[in-house]
Structure 1
Amino acid sequence: MGINADFDDQYSHHHYQRVEIPPPKPFLKTLKSNVKETLFPDDPFRKFKNQPLSKKISLGFKYFVPILDWAPRYTLQLFKADIIAGITIASLAVPQGISYAGLASLPPVIGLYSSFVPPLIYAMLGSSKHLAIGNVAVPSLLISAMLGKVVNPHENPKLYLQLVFTATFFAGVFQASLGLLRLGFIVDFLSHATILGFMSGAATVVCLQQLKGILGLLHFTHQTDIVSVMTSIFTQIHQWRWESGVLGCCFLFFLLLTRYFSKMKPKFFWISAMAPLTSVILGSVLVYFTHAEKNGVQVIGHLKKGINPPSYSELAFSSQYLAIAIKTGVVTSIIALAEGIAVGRSFAIIENYDIDGNKEMIAFGLMNIVGSCTSCYLTTGPFSRTAVNYNAGCKTTVSNIVMSIAVMITLLLLTPLFHYTPLVVLSSIIISAMLGIIDYNSAIQLWKVDKYDFFVCISSYIGVVFGSVEVGLIVAVAMSLLRILLFVARPKTFVLGKIPNSMTYRNIEQYSTASSVPGVLIIHIDSPIYFANASYLRERISRWIDEEEEKQRTSTEIELQYVILDMSAVGNIDTSGISMLEEVKRNADRRCLKVLLANPGGEVMKKLDKSNYIDKIGKEWIYLTIGEAVNACNYILHNCKFQSKRIDSSVTPDDSV
């Protein structure tokens, strides 16, 4: 079956261009290069090269405090656009801040505090022009769900508030640490499908939780799963307040109607943006004149006037619940980072500018650290507020400063006006916002494009809705890691065939015109070769060979003589991978087959050379392209036939006898 080794050496095609082994590099230099590419792919220090010390200091300040870079170029025209955008998002920030604070089981005024200080910090440190800072629903729900298990916010509000501030502090420390250590790529492990399922599930849970406010219930479960929520609702049917329900449905209909109108007529985006504040004003006026608070409609009540009081003395570092506060801070910070950076990048792509993910992490971290010391809880860049900011014509982060000033004025002068604001209106605002997060169209698209992604999305959603927010988050992360492991452990391999009238080789299953080369099996390996997939690849290559030999036994084609491994997609290989290639070669030798390599990369060649694998296989059997490898095989097969014919023609009948 095989071709004699001497014959192979005689026709080994030394005129082909050989794959070169990269020149050796010192280990420390290679390590430095890899670390730089992993942690500093944007090369942030390139501007500092060949600069005097004073210039380096100036550039350093501008790098870490971006406002110093663009503020000297700021114009009155930009300010006109930013002030309009800032006032517009302030009208959304006030009712949302109050609503989301209630979702986190916090006093409403904490939500206003959180829309004052953190946006000022981000305006100085953030790299996104359009991101609007504020508290958001899902982290608010997470805080309530995780901390509420150990401390009841109604029975011990002071300790609960201390734990919230402590969790916010550690969230900021974790976020800033990721940015300073250039570990922003960790957030990328949460796939789009995972985030979609988790956010949609959390939005569903938030909507269910707001049925308490819509129905005017005084007592409600602290669990977030759908079974507990529905049980709590239907076991208190006799306590439902029809006044609250009618009012809530009316305002919810109004909010959804304004959103639909603004979606149909994008020029009137401000109608949807102003709708929450309009609802708060109308609801307050209605309650004030009808005295609905005496008929089952719950109101906010007294709101403390004044700007943020300091809270650094409230950080519970010595509390017995410090561990759960740290855990809550880390979990919520990851969700906040994923949402904030994703939103910032989305609008940066629209406007064709870049944002620095690590700078964003530092900005988020510092604003939450400062926020925890000034009576604020976790903040990030919510999509709804950022979309309003963008549509309002925002040009720079000055819009966040304008919003902060508007919130400050509200805190100093206008908080008494919120006394009669009905809680049912806040519930309607939250439900309206959450319905926009449940993106069923994207889920349908996932089903059409990638069934596994859809399965990941649905698993995450079910984990949140039927388990808890924590369970959903664990499921989401686990499914993302499982998919990565599956890709690594079970890489794609397929047989290549030649496209007619070309030197192109493609997957036989994908291209119907591609045909196999007689006597040659070409296998494409579509992944780096590591310990996790080495055993699978060895078995899969062996099965490909078995299948090819079985197919050729039942046909009149030339018996299999050569196996070409296309290494063009193998970016790296470890010692387990090299051992796998050695086993493939030994297996091929037993079958009297010859193994050839096509287009191995530089890193792969370097390791194959150091392991002496190249000497074992022979340099003459490593080619730049599949075409050259196939030509070499065909040349030898052709000459083998020619030599056999010459031998047969020189044998006389007498000799044969």
Structure 2
Amino acid sequence: MPGDGKSASKVLPGLRTLTGYRREWLAKDVVAGVVLTTLLVPQGMAYAELAGLPAITGLYTSVLCLLAYAVFGPSRILVLGPDSSLGPMIAATVLPLIAAGGDSGRAVALASVLALMVGAITLLAGVARLGFIADLISKPTMIGYMNGLALTILIGQLPKLFGFGTDADGLVDEARAFVQGLADGEAVPAAVAVGGTGIVLILLLQRLLPKVPAVLVMVLLAIAATSLFDLGRHGVGLVGELPRGFPPLTVPDIRWSDVGPLFVGALGIALVSLADTISNASAFATRTGQEVRGNEEMVAIGTANVAAGLFQGFPVSTSGSRTAVAERAGARTQLTGVVGAGLIVLMLVLLPGLFRNLPQPALAAVVVTASLSLADLSGTVRLWHQRKAEFFLSIAAFLGVALLGVLPGIAVAVGLSILNVFRRAWWPYNTVLGRVPGLAGFHDVRSYPQAEHLPGLVIHRFDGPLFFANAKAFRNEVTRLALAEPPPVWVLIAAEPVTDVDTTAADELEELDEALDERGVSLVFAELKDPVRRKIERYGLTRSIDPEHFFPTVEAAVAAFRERTGARWTAPDPPVPDVTATER
């Protein structure tokens, strides 16, 4: 039935793409899939090790999330996979649960359960249509978080880049351990040469030849250098031969005591993954003319994580860099990702030793360059020039990651974002309005000091909802205006920006009206929104505040005041000269 096909395509967006697929897209999708694979393989292995897991799990994860997103993903172009921003969060969650000395099998099981939890959280959020959750992190706090994450990744990769390891945990301890390792002569010159050259090569190619797969070129040259100079004998660690084949469907086995810590980590990872996905989906949808379907994206991300978790994988997110590579290579649909997944499987089955001579410092170089792309120093500088408060929010989020750790850092970022919203509602902008000759309406006297006023009338605008946190501040400001000399007859509230009035604010308004009446001052409202007016009536305020003191517009209220008092517009008083300053 037609309705069944429509509902099926809604549950499985991949069917929408399949039914509308064009023959001329096939060659472009296949070529883009081949190009994308050259990035998926080295990055997948590098980000797996960043997460504290065997390199092979990065390839398992890449395959499953690409296939799952091809079926459930609403975007035709987004590419999923292991991500540099999630790697430290996975490591921070999993590694503390592993006994000293490390157990790779247990680490993989823990990471797989983490992926299942992230998948369940995002699936439930998508089904419940909670796409707005991704908005819990504001851009300034996300910039600070990512800057802190970039520094954390960079410092954490330095020992590997220099050919040795440390047991330190946390940015400060890792930096101290790295410096101590250098002082103790643990650096391997050959590893430093490979890692340093790899970073320079990737950055130069990305800048000078952006269409060239910089990571693949560096990886191939590093493998060639291993064979040519026998780097393994010079103390450079190598990836070694990967396990042949693909893992079976596996239900990971963990302890009950692991569930709590994993769930806490899963919440943070899910939030970052969702924010990253919605951001990338919006950016690429604008460029390709597609519609952003936030809730479907969450379902797709959840499904991809569940699929990865059942095949020895770990949590995934979308990747802006890999999506950009696919787009530049001509990708038209998610068949690009399917081709990439198929090529990785063929490599694992037929050529598992292809990357056995890949130096570990080369993988560290991949991660370091990825961390540099996470940082947004220009965005931080822009915040300083545009809005100091948001700059300091960004710095606080940065310090939260750098000093407290990755997982506490995301909690700090979310908390700061929520507090910033509350702060703006708590102390909204408020001002007095006046008439500016030649301009329609009434305007802020701070912006227009020459604005005229009517003697006996103060027009006050409060730019926010009235609720328990700011009701007292509103009352104090109106009282201050009413105590001016000479005292006003009316204090007119230009209430169009007031989007809500709660019961606490209603009580404050009633007490304020009574206090002003005792002074012979009337509290008057104009432009109250209908929903707010209905709330005020439900609270019974229209019984205490004169119903005739509610006007549909500020203009109508001003006209009524002039009719009752005969007041005329008056220019503002000139400023009193500073005699002391003049004498000096």
TM band (smaller chain): over 0.9
CA distance in 2, matches of 1:223, 1:80: 48
Structure 1, residues 68-118: CA drift from partner, whole Å, max 9, x if none?
A: 223122112122222222211111110000100111111111001111111
1:65 maps onto 2:12 in alignment:
yes
What whole-Å deviation, never above 9, does each CA across 1:185-231 have from its counterpart, x for those lacking one? Answer: 112011011111111211111111111121101x3134131x21221
- Return the match for 1:296 from 235, 252, 255: 235
**What's the counterpart of residue 613 of structure 1?**
541
Structure 2 partner of 1:31: none
1:643 is aligned to none
Shift of 1:634: 1.1
Q: Using the TM superposition, give the Cα deviation of residue 639 of structure 1 relative to its aligned residue in structure 2, in angstroms.
A: 8.7
Contact persistence 1:105–1:153 (CA under 8 A):
no
- After TM superposition, the structure 1 = structure 2 runs for residues 642-657 of structure 1, keeping only pairs within 5 Å, are none
The amino acid across from 2:322 in the alignment is R
Amino acid at match of 1:287: T
Which whole-Å CA distance do the structure 2 matches of 1:234 and 1:441 have between them?
29
Q: 1:609 to 1:346 in 2, by over 3 A?
A: same
What is the deviation of 1:245?
Answer: 0.7
Deviations 1:443-491 (A, max 9, x none): 1111111111111111111221233112321221121111011112222
For residues 266-313 of structure 1, give each alpha carbon's deviation from its aligned partner in whole angstroms, at most 9, with x where no partner exists: xxx321xx121222221112112322111111101121011233222x
Contact 1:287 / 1:293 at 8 angstroms: preserved in 2? Answer: yes
Partner of 1:407: 344
Structure 1 match to 2:578: none
1:572 shift after superposition: 1.9
Give the residue type in structure 2 aligned to 1:602.
D
How far apart in 2 are the matches of 1:531 and 1:458? 30
2:169 to 223, 240, 246: 223
Instruction: State the match for 2:137 in structure 1.
Output: 190
- Matching residue within 149, 152, 169 for 1:205: 152
Question: Alignment partner for residue 387 of structure 2, among 445, 450, 460?
Answer: 450
Q: Is the 8 A contact 2:249 2:311 kept in 1?
A: yes
TM value normalised by structure 2: 0.94
| 1:506 aligns to 2:443 (yes or no) | yes
* Alignment correspondent of 1:338: 275
User: Match of 2:86, SS?
Assistant: helix
- Which residue does the alignment assign to 1:366? 303
Q: Does 1:233 align with 2:171?
A: no
Change in CA separation of 1:503 and 1:214 when aligned onto 2, cut-off 3 Å: closer
Give structure 2 stretches of 5+ with no counterpart. 569-584
| Deviations 1:473-527, CA, capped at 9 Å, x for gaps | 1221121111011112222211111121454101110223322222100111111
1:308 match: 247
Give the residue type in structure 2 aligned to 1:231. R
Give the match for residue 130 of structure 1: 77
Mapped partners of 1:566, 1:416: distance in 2: 73
Q: 2:580 corresponds to which residue?
A: none
* Counterpart in the other structure of 1:635: 563
**Larger CA deviation: 164-173 vs 582-591:** 582-591
Does the residue aligned with 1:377 lie in a helix, a strand or coil?
Answer: coil
Q: Residues 98 and 628 of structure 1: is their aligned pair in 2 closer, same or farther, counting only changes over 3 Å?
A: same
Instruction: Compare CA radii of gyration and give the structure with the larger one.
Output: 1
Aligned residue runs from structure 1 range 139-154, under 5 A: 139-152=86-99, 154=101
Aligned positions of 1:87-102 closer than 5 A: 87-102=34-49
Structure 1, 505-514 or 520-529: larger mean CA deviation: 505-514
> Following the alignment from structure 1 to structure 2, what is the Cα–Cα distance between the partners of residues 544 and 420?
77
After the TM superposition, which of the residue ranges 238-247 and 493-502 deviates more from structure 2?
A: 493-502
Say which SS state the counterpart of residue 494 (structure 1) adopts: strand
Letter in 2 for 1:311: T
Q: 2:102 maps to which residue? A: 155
Partner of 2:323: 386
Pick aligned residue for 2:522 from 594, 600, 615: 594
SS in 2 for 1:511: coil
Corresponding position of 1:286: 225
1:166 and 1:326 in contact (8 A); partners too: no
2-structure distance, mates of 1:500, 1:343: 47
Shift of 1:432: 1.2
Corresponding residue number in structure 1 for 2:289: 352
Partners of 2:353 and 2:189 in 1: CA distance = 27
Contact residue 538 and residue 583 of structure 1 kept, 8 A: no
Deviation at 1:386? 1.2
Aligned CA RMSD, in angstroms, stands at 1.7
Identity %: 26
Using the TM superposition, name which of 432-441 and 535-544 deviates more.
Answer: 535-544
Residue 572 of structure 1 corresponds to which residue in structure 2? Answer: 500
Residue 256 in 1 paired to residue 203 in 2?
yes
Aligned-partner residue type, residue 246 of structure 2: I
Task: Determine which of 56, 59, 62 is the counterpart of 1:115.
Answer: 62
> Secondary structure of the equivalent of 1:128?
coil
CA change 1:466–1:91 in 2 (3 A) is same
User: What is the TM-score with the length of structure 1 in the denominator?
Assistant: 0.84
Equivalences for 1:78-93 in 2 at 5 Å? Answer: 78-93=25-40
Equivalent residue in structure 1 for 2:551, among 595, 604, 623: 623
Asked if 1 retains the 8 angstrom alpha-carbon contact of 2:161 and 2:364, the reply is: yes
Cα offset, 1:63, TM superposition:
1.1
In structure 1, distance between residues paired with 2:89 and 2:396: 19
Query: Residue type matched to 2:557 in 1?
Result: A
Shift of 1:154: 4.4
Indicate conservation of the 8 Å contact 2:42/2:216, yes or no: yes
